[in-house]
């Protein structure tokens, strides 16, 4: 039997997963984002061997305060909030939750595609506000989604789930740009001949919808800028379901205001929660969502379960299923 270790839960876990941890280890729950729990979180760091949570910057200074830390289990697939080089230098294992959220995030991205092109939120508000006083005319028509070309920036598991919806469900030709072409024959045979690896400039120029699903790293930060927006088809719709800071938000606003982009659907922002002062919050052609990509009951539970299993395995000296390769930074 594994010796009990000290575990810090830094974002609430479902009761059944917390119970699994408590059965094996001494668990402290303290969310540093809550003023009432912040001191307890920092006090616990000195002794913890395992941490589990998400959406909090675990930077180099925080790691210094946790000298006994062996493993962090993130309840997320993205790991941009962790000081990866410091984790690598200290030999601290980082686990995450790939695979279990792909279909749900793809659903969210498709909701944004549909909402922006068919003006769903704007027209629902028209009804709600009592402004539906005649048959709607051309000024309120949207654009078709089916049959249009979808361009994907990033073609990992989630990108492929989006491509399946587009190609198989909506008859959309799919172009994707990724560092390397994906071997569809082995990874996604159903997309063979339907999703084409395409040079960035051609993909941007040909796509009616450009969907960004990029992780945040030094090479992708601010990558989607005025230059890329200018290369998009005039009147294209831009969707971001990856990370907000991959986009230069001032350039995005300029592209919307100039008419280069018809609309944007955004689940992620450079700063979250989105500041009140951000023009993206109220822009009439932006559909903003509060980072709900994976936020369904089923998927958030599956993520918590995988993250808990990862942590229990790591603390037992076993290899967890989903270890992030911090050396690949």
The residue among 298 and 318 lying less far from ligand DGY, judged by its C-beta, is 298
**Residue 109 CB coordination number (10 Å):** 28
Closest by Cα among 101, 107, 106, 10 to 53:
10
**Active-site residue, 291 included:** yes
CB of 280 to ligand DGY, least distance (A): 18
b/e per residue, 16-25, with b = 16+ CB within 10 A? ebbebbeebb
Q: Is 159 in the site for ligand DGY (CB under 6 A)?
A: no
* Residues 6+ positions from 139 with CB-CB distance below 8 Å: none
- Stretch 199-238: interaction string toward ligand DGY, x if CB under 6 A: ----------------------------------------
Residues 64-123 contacting ligand DGY, CB under 6 A: 76-78, 101
The residue among 49 and 76 lying less far from ligand DGY, judged by its C-beta, is 76
CB of 71 to ligand DGY, least distance (A): 18
Task: Enter the DSSP assignment of 153.
Answer: E
**Active-site residue, 243 included:** yes
Determine the Cα–Cα distance for residues 60 and 107; give it in Å rounded to an integer: 35
Determine the Cα–Cα distance for residues 106 and 168; give it in Å rounded to an integer: 14
CB of 322 to ligand DGY, least distance (A): 12
Task: Select the residue whose beta carbon is closest to ligand DGY and give its number.
Answer: 78
CB of 268 to ligand DGY, least distance (A): 7
Catalytic residue chosen out of the listed positions 197, 221, 272, 283: 272
CB of 212 to ligand DGY, least distance (A): 13
CB of 290 to ligand DGY, least distance (A): 11
**Active-site residue, 272 included:** yes
Determine the Cα–Cα distance for residues 153 and 147; give it in Å rounded to an integer: 19
Out of 104, 294, 308, 310, the only residue in the binding site for ligand DGY (CB under 6 A) is 294
Catalytic residue chosen out of the listed positions 243, 249, 305, 313: 243
The residue among 76 and 309 lying less far from ligand DGY, judged by its C-beta, is 76
Determine the Cα–Cα distance for residues 66 and 53; give it in Å rounded to an integer: 15
State yes or no: cis peptide before 273, omega within 30 of 0. Answer: yes
Contact 243, 119 (CB under 8 A): no
Angle at 272 between CA 84 and CA 27, to 5 degrees: 60
Catalytic residue chosen out of the listed positions 164, 291, 305, 313: 291
Determine the Cα–Cα distance for residues 25 and 10; give it in Å rounded to an integer: 15
Residues 2-31 contacting ligand DGY, CB under 6 A: none
Q: Which residues are catalytic?
A: 243, 272, 291
Q: Which residues bind ligand DGY (CB under 6 A)?
A: 76-78, 101, 293-294
């Amino acid at each position: 039997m594994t010796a009990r270790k000290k575990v810090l839960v830094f974002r609430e876990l479902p009761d059944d997963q917390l119970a699994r941890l408590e059965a094996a280890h001494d668990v402290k729950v303290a969310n540093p984002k809550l003023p009432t729990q912040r001191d307890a979180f920092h006090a616990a760091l000195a002794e913890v061997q395992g941490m589990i949570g998400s959406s909090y910057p675990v930077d180099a200074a925080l790691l210094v305060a946790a000298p006994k830390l062996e493993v962090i289990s993130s309840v997320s697939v993205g790991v941009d909030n962790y000081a990866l080089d410091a984790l690598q230098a200290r030999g601290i294992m980082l686990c995450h939750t790939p695979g279990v959220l792909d279909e749900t995030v793809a659903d969210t991205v498709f909701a944004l595609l549909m909402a922006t092109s068919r003006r769903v939120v704007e027209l629902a508000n028209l009804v709600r506000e009592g402004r539906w006083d005649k048959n709607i005319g051309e000024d309120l028509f949207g654009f078709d989604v089916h049959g249009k070309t979808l361009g994907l920036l990033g073609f990992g598991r989630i990108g492929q789930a989006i491509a399946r919806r587009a190609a198989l469900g909506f008859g959309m030709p799919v172009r994707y740009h990724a560092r390397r072409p994906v071997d569809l024959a082995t990874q996604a045979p159903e997309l063979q001949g339907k999703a084409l690896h395409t040079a960035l400039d051609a993909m941007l120029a040909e796509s009616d919808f450009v969907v960004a699903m990029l992780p945040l790293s030094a090479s992708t930060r601010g990558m989607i800028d005025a230059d890329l927006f200018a290369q998009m088809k005039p009147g294209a719709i831009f969707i971001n379901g990856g990370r907000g800071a991959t986009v230069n938000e001032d350039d995005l606003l300029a592209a919307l205001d100039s008419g280069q982009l018809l609309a944007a659907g955004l689940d992620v922002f450079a700063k979250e929660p989105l500041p009140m002062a951000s023009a993206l919050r109220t822009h009439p052609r932006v559909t903003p969502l509060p980072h709900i990509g994976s936020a369904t009951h089923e998927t958030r539970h599956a993520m918590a379960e995988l993250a808990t299993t990862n942590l229990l395995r790591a603390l037992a000296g076993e290899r967890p299923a989903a270890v992030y390769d911090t050396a690949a930074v």
